[in-house]
Amino acid sequence: MNDTAICIQGLLKRFKTFTLGPLNASVPLGAIYGFIGPNGAGKTTTIDLIMGMGHEDEGTIRVLGLDHRADEAAMKAQIGYVSPEVSFNAWVKVKRVIGFYRSFYPDWDDAYCEELMRRLKLDWQDRIATLSYGSRTKLNLVIALSHRPKLLLLDEPLSGLDALAKQEVFSELLSAVQDEDRTVFISSHNLDDIERFTDHLGMIQNGKMLLEGPTADLVERFRMVDGISNNGYTITSLAGVRIQSREGERCRILVDTKKTPLQALSENGVQILADSPVSLEELFVGIMKEN
């Protein structure tokens, strides 16, 4: 049995000023997978290609065991998609938007849709033009969830939300993923929420995957070390070591202990004064920071 919800292999997409890939990614079934990276790293491009918006130059994408092009209709029937780029203005009212999308899904759950509308405080007669940014996101979520998809594909679903709206959206997402058969792929800049919400993680920069795996395992394998580098030793020659700051011989470095155990630092002339665990945000900033 295939235990992968999304399998990306050798994905390559060339633009004039940017190249995505070659990119490999594996999202386990039932996982809540956070896809993170700086602006322009290729997150939205990857999601667009998964959804068939644009055409890859090389590579394959399989979603729920289906080829994302040959089986596009069957694949999209099992996906709930949320993106800040989706606009509902053409339908004028919330009721008309939901009616339009409902017609595409034979398994649309009217009772669940009604429940989501109530919990997210949306009204069927609301005019799209009068909805706040947060309410538009909630409407997008209602549409994505109401046919009970096997995969939720969320591109920056929390972007621009205030604290209350974010809490309401997160509450619904957490409720929706209680079923272990449902997989969530979420791209977000909010690293605190990603660390708390996800169990798997992919970190991308300049179109390349830098790290991928269980969130807790990735965070736990890194340490922030304060130390003294003796004899002018070049710390960066060690694999997985990134200098965060340096003043004379004193330095702060991020260490991937899977590649370089702390003992190896000492053996190579680094006097360790202190080491501490890192948060996902510290890990992200540390990896993105150029040596």
The answer on 137 and 48 residing in a single domain is yes
Give me the pLDDT at residue 277, please. 95
Q: What is the CATH number of the domain that holds 263?
A: 3.30.70
The answer on 241 and 208 residing in a single domain is no
The answer on 253 and 109 residing in a single domain is no
The answer on 279 and 235 residing in a single domain is yes
The answer on 230 and 196 residing in a single domain is no
Q: What is the CATH number of the domain that holds 146?
A: 3.40.50.300
The answer on 232 and 101 residing in a single domain is no
Domain termination site, one of 195, 217, 239: 217
- Percent of the chain surpassing pLDDT 90: 55
Overall average pLDDT of the 225-234 stretch: 74
The answer on 225 and 200 residing in a single domain is no
Sorted by sequence, the CB contacts under 8 Å of residue 251 that are 6+ apart come out as 226, 227, 228, 229, 235, 243, 244, 245
Overall average pLDDT of the 19-42 stretch: 92
pLDDT digit string, tens, across residues 43-77: 999 999 999 888 999 999 999 999 999 999 999 99
Q: Please check the confidence at residue 236 and state whether its pLDDT lies above 80.
A: no
The answer on 168 and 59 residing in a single domain is yes
The answer on 183 and 56 residing in a single domain is yes
| Domain encompassing residue 230 | 221-288
Spatial distance between the Cα atoms of 277 and 275, rounded to a whole number of angstroms: 7
Domain termination site, one of 217, 234, 251: 217
The secondary structure of 138-202 as a DSSP string is: HHHHHHHHTT--SEEEEESTTTT--HHHHHHHHHHHHHHTTSTT-EEEEE-S-HHHHHHH-SEEE
Give me the pLDDT at residue 94, please. 94
The answer on 141 and 208 residing in a single domain is yes
Overall average pLDDT of the 110-115 stretch: 93
Flag whether the pTM goes above 0.85: yes
pLDDT digit string, tens, across residues 6-15: 999 999 999 9
Domain termination site, one of 184, 200, 217: 217
The answer on 246 and 194 residing in a single domain is no
The answer on 96 and 168 residing in a single domain is yes
pLDDT digit string, tens, across residues 277-288: 999 999 999 998
Q: Please give the tally of structural domains in the chain.
A: 2
